[in-house]
Amino acid sequence: MKAKQFFSLALLGAVVGFGSCQKEPSTSSLRDEFLVYTAYDMEADFDAVETYYIPDSILVIGAPAVDPQGNKKANYWNDADALRLIETVVAELTAYGYTRITDPALRTEVDAGIQLSYVEERAYFVGYNDPYWWGYYPYYWAPDYWGAGWGGWYYPFSVYYGYTTGSLLTEMVDLNATNRADNKLPVLWNSYVSGLLRGGNQPVIDEAVQGLQQAFKQSPYLKK
């Protein structure tokens, strides 16, 4: 099997490397600690990624909003806490040498799109190769948000792990990619921070910020 992926996981500052087909260890004992997981396409050229656009909201997966007519629609998190998480990602990308484009009209003309999502559901486990499994989940970031012609998602690497309640997902999508025949938009890098819920099912923002910072710390290949 040709290895096209790399996984790293951190718990309390310890970083563990994974082989190309190894599963993530159980997270059932993570009651008071957060876990940070990252993966990336080893064939990606991050030096070719200079500019990026990041939305001003975080998608909430598992809690669709309902409009006045009773129709379900995407639910987005955009209060002060959400903006703090977004600005944390911006600060890390800036420190790594990337340039943020803030004009929404230019979001399809940058090198990469950054999308954040928050999982509010109970734990569930996932295994996928291709197509990208979130394509089957309603209310996820629509691929055409990043430009016409994208009809789905594509991970160049296989991933097997479980998302848990209170997980914060971050993904970098390649907007320089040539439209494939099946119109799949490649994901260059992804991370999730798990274990962010405490009493009252409210995310712990300070730990979420630390988790995002750890995700970049254990992803030195992103640095210019």
79-122: pLDDT as tens digits: 999 999 999 999 999 999 999 999 999 999 999 999 998 887 66
Domain range enclosing 135: 34-222
Query: Is 60 exceeded by the pLDDT of residue 185?
Result: yes
> Is 158 a member of any domain?
yes
> Is 86 a member of any domain?
yes
Burial of 122 (0-12, 13-18, 19+ CB in 10 A): exposed
> Is 1 a member of any domain?
no
115: helix, strand or coil: strand
> Is 12 a member of any domain?
no
Which of the pair, 87 or 154, is modelled with greater confidence? 87
> Is 2 a member of any domain?
no
pLDDT of residue 49: 97
Angle at 117 between CA 46 and CA 30, to 5 degrees: 100
Query: Is 80 exceeded by the pLDDT of residue 43?
Result: yes
> Is 14 a member of any domain?
no
For the whole model, what pTM was predicted?
A: 0.79
Contact between 156 and 98 (Cβ < 8 Å): no
pLDDT of residue 145: 86
> Is 26 a member of any domain?
no
pLDDT of residue 48: 95
Give the chain's domain count: 1
CA dihedral for 169, 119, 194, 152, sign (positive or negative): negative
